[in-house]
Chain A
Amino acid sequence: MSATDDDHNEDDLLKTPLHSLHEELSGKMVPFAGYLMPVQYPLGVMGEHNHTREAAGLFDVSHMGQVVIKGKDADLWLETLVPGNIIDLKVNRIRYSMFTNEQGGILDDLMITRRENDIFMVVNAGCKTEDIAHMRAHLPDHLELVELNDRALVALQGPKAAEILSRFANGADQMDFMSYAEVEICGAKCFISRCGYTGEDGHEISIPADKAIEVCKTILKEPEVEAIGLGARDSLRLEAGLCLYGHDITVNTTPVEAALVWSIGKRRREQGGFPGAEKILTQISSGNIERKRVGILPSGRAPAREGTEILDADDNVIGIITSGGFGPTFAGPIAMGYVTLKNAETGTSVFLQVRKNKLEAKVAAMPFVPQKYYRKK
């Protein structure tokens, strides 16, 4: 058995406002995106995954960046950096989009919320420094960019999550998917967003750092809630078919290749006006891309991990796995990756080079487990 943990110097790692709570809960702490984060608690990855699908799980995602843009025409300016439709985003509504570069590559993916007087964004931990530098470089000086370093971020996810949150924030369970509200929990002003990264219903909750432990302990006291680590977060999002930045989407993949065209609004497709628009819009209109992100379903029991080569019957390399593992709810190995366009159709037979074995697999539709987002009638 070989050690797999990164041997970073723990002293260089940042701690989230919930660090002492993780230790109290016997979380196994590992380095992740420059932070010391809980990969699992004593319940274990499989147990935590299943608990989230069956009841509710609380995740610390405070390593992610929370950023606010204030000032006149912040929405118009933000549209110069992302392909999403931000101008037409209603107050208290959330949109998924991405920062693109001039080559059409993805610099980061993010959640954008239009609030009453500003725009609130949640960006990836590993990209936040670059994202902020990117915005400072491209947005005009009159726009104020504020990093909310004094706030923790947690996610409460699962079929019981919304009802549980409504015990502390009246009406939280009535919010539509991808909507935002400001509520008071334990006397602390919290931002709640009905979204997540598990495929389940639930919210993300931004909490003032000094109240984060109190709020989380209050939520964890509810009998249906367990603390969940990054291990289960990854298996949950993979089953839900959601991309992990730096793996499934990178600076070398465009939103079209990544099968994220749904996130580019009609008006933006007609007008462009975002970095890489020429390439991205040409790819959309011509349908001409070299490779495409797809689901991959191994036929046997062996998981195919990130970096596994995808082959055709004649041993030609036709793609690569970008995320792969075992889906506890799916009850078998699942993966996603990129294949050449002519092999991207659902049902196509492919092969996976896992160590010395060439394993059978099929291109499969995602998500692997149905998403259960709350849609208001």
Chain B
Amino acid sequence: MTIYYSEDHEWVNVTDKTGTVGISEYAQKALGDIVFVELPEVGDEFSKGDEVAVVESVKAASEIYSLVSGEITEVNGELETNASLVNSSAEEDGWFFKIEISDDSELDDLMDADGYKKFIAGLE
């Protein structure tokens, strides 16, 4: 199990070919109170960079772009009734969806946990 982060503050936790995707603790703080998450559907296919989900806070909507190419295998149904799970547990219970990664070389462009920690330290 390896976790990767993007500069857009998303994470993907990879086990074999399956990636679990969400937004980082830093992202949930920046977005504020999350009231709705629009998730993809199981079976949908995305290329890296496609808009795959939308996070709505009281203030605004923010798009989530796919970190990797692949097919959606599962979505977090809990978020439908309790979107604030993203605020309370961004990097665990507040995951968005699972994706079957079609090209794991795309992970090379992402940061590891230490790299991301340094990256956000540079933003403060």
Contact = CB atoms under 8 A, between A and B. Distances in A.
A208 interface: no
Given A1-B9, A4-B62, A301 B80 contact: yes
Interface in A329-373: 333, 355, 357
> What secondary structure prevails in chain A residues at the interface with B?
mixed
Interface residues of A, number: 24
B14 interface: no
A39 B55 CA distance: 19
Contacts of B83: 301
A231 B62 contact: no
Given A1-B31, A1-B64, A45-B33, A302 B56 contact: yes
Given A1-B8, A1-B27, A326-B36, A303 B55 contact: no
B61 interface: yes
The range of chain B's interface size is 20 to 34
B57 interface: yes
Contact of B58 (A2, A302, A326): A326
A371 B36 CA distance: 26
Contact of A46 (B54, B58, B60): B58
A144 B35 CA distance: 49
Given A1-B10, A4-B60, A4-B62, A302 B32 contact: no
B23 interface: yes
B92 interface: no
B38 interface: yes
Nearest to B62: A1
B36 A39 contact: no
A292 to B, nearest CB: 26
A44 B55 CA distance: 17
A235 interface: yes
Given A2-B8, A40-B32, A303-B36, A328 B58 contact: yes
B56 A2 contact: no
A46 B36 contact: no
Given A301-B80, A303-B61, A305-B61, A1 B35 contact: no
A63 interface: no
Nearest to B83: A301
Nearest to B65: A2
B56 A326 contact: yes
Interface string A265-289: 0000000000000000000000000
Contacts of A235: 58
Contacts of A1: 8-10, 23, 27, 30-31, 55, 62-64
B59 interface: yes
B28 to A, nearest CB: 10
Nearest to A234: B59
B38 A45 contact: no
Nearest to B10: A1
Contacts of B62: 1-2, 4
Contacts of B60: 4, 305
Contacts of B8: 1-2
A95 interface: no
Most A CB contacts (10 A, CB to CB) among B8, B10, B61 go to: B61
B64 A326 contact: no
A300 B58 CA distance: 15
Given A2-B65, A44-B33, A303-B61, 11 more contacts: A2-B8, A2-B63, A4-B60, A232-B58, A234-B59, A301-B83, A302-B36, A325-B59, A326-B36, A326-B56, A328-B58
Query: Which 4 residue pairs of A and B lie closest in terms of their CB atoms, listed nearest first?
Result: A46-B33, A326-B35, A45-B58, A1-B9
21 contacts: A1-B8, A1-B9, A1-B27, A1-B31, A1-B55, A1-B62, A1-B63, A2-B63, A4-B60, A40-B32, A44-B32, A45-B58, A45-B59, A46-B58, A47-B33, A232-B58, A234-B59, A301-B80, A305-B61, A326-B58, A333-B35
